[in-house]
Structure 1
Amino acid sequence: MQTRSRYVLALVALLLGLFGLMTQMSFAQSPSSDHKSQLTAVLFENVRVFDGVSANLTAPSNVLVVGNTIRAIGTRSLLVPVDIGVTRIGGEGRVLMPGLIDAHTHLFMETSTEDDLVAATAAPERLLQQAQENATAMLMRGFTSARDMAGPVFFLKQAIDRGAVVGPRIWPSGAMISQTSGHGDFRELSDLPRTPTSELSLAEQFGVGAIADGVDEVLRRVREQLMQGASQIKLAAGGGVASDFDPIDVAQYTEAELRAAVEAAEDWNTYVAVHAYTPRAIQKAIRAGVKSIEHGQLIDEETARMIAENDVWLSMQPFLDDEDRNPYPEGSANRANQLIVSEGTDNAYTLAKRYNIKTAWGTDNLYSPAGAARQGAKLAKLVRWYSPAEVLRMATSTNASLLALSGPRNPYPGKLGVVEEGALADLLLVNGNPLENIRLIENPETNFLVIMKDGVIYKNRLSDS
């Protein structure tokens, strides 16, 4: 396997060749591309509702969706509009719940492999097609929203929003901003030294990473992401598992640099999230005003207390040394770092619960189509630390609260992650009760009978009446 930097550079080189194509191509039209041109209604009848908050299901109820919002919920018959078409879905006592939310994704990189790079050399447009397919597959797994935490997804998001591609709502960060030798520096040693006249690296040109040293450069890079439509900003504040040139124990950026990013984001009424594992990196970021720690598996008690006292989010993934780990060669430094992180996961979740930290969930899948397909299984494994109701709450209303932290930069105004009147209609009808059997979400093809996003039905395995 190539080193991580060479792998990313090869991917970016191919993507750069497609940059013009991304702005010009006509994405394959989906059946729902004109769904907002006509007002429609959907009535779910005889369903038991998991509302995204309560640990209990409701009594058998009816839920009326009009347009893209939930109009009414009740145990008695609901008045349906007479002037628009109504689709009736008989739930027969099944569970209706909010669409799932993944708070840490990389839509453009999570399913690409070395074999894909070889194939893309002959047919580069395949990479764009693959990104679209990945987005569609994510929605069809029941994930109606995703916070993308580094990568060139702005065009993909726009295509989804206009109905040209089927996929989840996307909260994009744009490029991950990194110091020289940081987690987002994808260059090789042969690219050094960098001078004021050096060209931007390929990863920077395409928007995978953005290298910034010093307050002025950090401000520029943050503002560039915001200009392109970032809903939140992502910085690398510490070493990583996938990185080639920054050991996992290192802290990155000075407080002044981190604070500059925070101030620039706050001027746009949004926030900064940072990649960080270690106490030093996390504590420095919190002192600078960062609002979300991505990962954090190596926290200690002092750091957990600091996170809680400052009302900071811990956006964590259940990284374990199991079948869902990202692929790294045995004996490599990447693999050694991966083992260090997985050994800290139990302690991190224990501390998060002890200090009642606001904890979000995400997958952070990279370079693995098989790993992407196990999105629901990665969520279900949280029952190692939480009850099924707590797990589903985390992936719905709790993650939605993190998405809302973008304030006016939130690309989808409205309430998500809940089933309540006035909320946006992102809904799943489950063939069974996931509060009793969380493993139902591991097999969405069989167990998610209806998938709705923004009031539009993308999957319906039940007969309409």
Structure 2
Amino acid sequence: ARGLAEGLALGPRLIHGGKALSQTGGHGDLRPLGDDSAPCCENRPNFARIADGVDAVRAAARDEFRKGAAHLKVLLSGGVASPHDEIAAVQYSEEEVRTAVEEADNHNRYVTVHAYHPRAIDRALRAGVRCVEHGNLIDDATVDLLLERDAFLVPTLIAYERTAELGRQAGLPESSHRKLTEVRDHGLAALEKAHRAGVNLVYGSDLLGPLHSAQLEEFTLRAQVQPAADVIRSATSTAARLLRMEGEIGTLAPGAHADLLVIDGDPLADLTALTHPQRHLRHVVKAGTVL
């Protein structure tokens, strides 16, 4: 991220959250079940670091902000890619989550959480979390809480579609396939429920490694239940509000960064103008420079 910001490398404007926080045995604890060694969280090549208890969560949050994180991600439920925890499991106590939120607020940052189930999502929202990633199993009460707290929801539907297609050949265990089916079957309905209620929806993909090439297919999935304009807002103006960068990105306005896609077509009439760049993309502009 620093290299991009300083112009040392060519790439997009990158707003990163550092390493996610996971409890022992949580979604980010990828040690084999027979491994009793203490995790070396800060330096190991992993997407998360393990922090248990209020003091450890506080220290880990401060360290991620020290290293430049623009927000903090906390893992609050089981996940598809972590084979040994249940989707409905709640990870982290409310006191630990509140501690992460307090530290984020002290640094003028915010917390977003990985969570699928209302038990975990509701705990996060009551603790002051700003954003929820995934949220496939939300119910009406959780939708009401999202609205009450003016929080944001980032569905990631394409991740489940692509993982279902390629997971077995990539070695995804059977336990993960069962969880994948559960969240995949409820994802589109959850998106429609949140959209109809007026929840702040942001575009995301959660695609890993070789699956990155499918990220634009999220537009196609969302268009099944959302108008094109709302899908586009989720990737532009609403995303900017989540990042607290409204007026800087995600808009065509004086004083904003001129980060633009110039396309041949009208995505409001046909979203394939965005999902088929080989046919429609003419220019990528970053900060006013045509790349």
Normalization by structure 2: what TM-score? 0.93
Match of residue 227 from structure 2: 387
**2:190 aligns with one of 328, 345, 348:** 348
Contact 1:235 1:273 in 2 (8 A): yes
Match of residue 399 from structure 1: 239
Deviation at 1:429, TM superposition (A): 1.4
C-alpha distance in structure 1 between counterparts of 2:71 and 2:12, whole Å: 17
Match of residue 298 from structure 1: 137
Change (3 A) 1:260 1:321: closer
Q: Deviations over 1:189-229 (max 9, x none)?
A: 232154xxxx615x753463110110000001101100000
Q: Does 1:373 align with 2:217?
A: no
**1:452 aligns with one of 276, 281, 285:** 285
Change (3 A) 1:324 1:385: farther
Match of residue 309 from structure 1: 148
Q: Deviations over 1:71-111 (max 9, x none)?
A: xxxxxxxxxxxxxxxxxxxxxxxxxxxxxxxxxxxxxxxxx
Match of residue 335 from structure 1: 177
2:120 partner SS: helix
Q: Deviations over 1:213-251 (max 9, x none)?
A: 100000011011000000000010111010022121100
2:236 partner SS: helix
C-alpha distance in structure 2 between counterparts of 1:311 and 1:300, whole Å: 16
Deviation at 1:292, TM superposition (A): 0.5
Which protein has greater RCO, CA pairs closer than 8 Å, 6+ apart? Answer: 1
Deviation at 1:290, TM superposition (A): 0.7
Change (3 A) 1:415 1:325: farther
Whichever structure has more strand as a proportion of its residues is 1
C-alpha distance in structure 1 between counterparts of 2:55 and 2:127, whole Å: 16
1:226-237 aligned at under 5 Å gives the runs 226-237=65-76
Q: Identity percentage over the alignment?
A: 35
Deviation at 1:164, TM superposition (A): 2.1
What CA RMSD, in Å, does the superposition of the two structures yield over aligned residues? 2.0
Match of residue 439 from structure 1: 272
Match of residue 261 from structure 1: 100
Match of residue 430 from structure 1: 263
Which amino acid is the alignment partner of residue 348 of structure 1?
A
**2:205 aligns with one of 363, 380, 403:** 363
Q: Deviations over 1:98-150 (max 9, x none)?
A: xxxxxxxxxxxxxxxxxxxxxxxxxxxxxxxxxxxxxxxxxxxxxxxxxxxxx
Change (3 A) 1:266 1:380: same
2:34 partner SS: helix
C-alpha distance in structure 2 between counterparts of 1:380 and 1:326, whole Å: 17
Ranges in structure 1 where 5+ consecutive residues have no aligned partner: 1-156, 406-412, 459-465
Q: Deviations over 1:288-334 (max 9, x none)?
A: 11110111001111111111111111111224864565742277111
C-alpha distance in structure 1 between counterparts of 2:45 and 2:159, whole Å: 32
Q: Does 1:161 align with 2:2?
A: no
4+ runs of 1 displaced by more than 6 Å?
none
Normalization by structure 1: what TM-score? 0.59
Higher Cα radius of gyration = 1
Deviation at 1:355, TM superposition (A): 2.0
Q: Does 1:216 align with 2:58?
A: no
C-alpha distance in structure 1 between counterparts of 2:112 and 2:243, whole Å: 12
Which amino acid is the alignment partner of residue 266 of structure 1?
D
Contact 1:397 1:416 in 2 (8 A): yes
1:33-72 aligned at under 5 Å gives the runs none
Contact 2:64 2:72 in 1 (8 A): yes
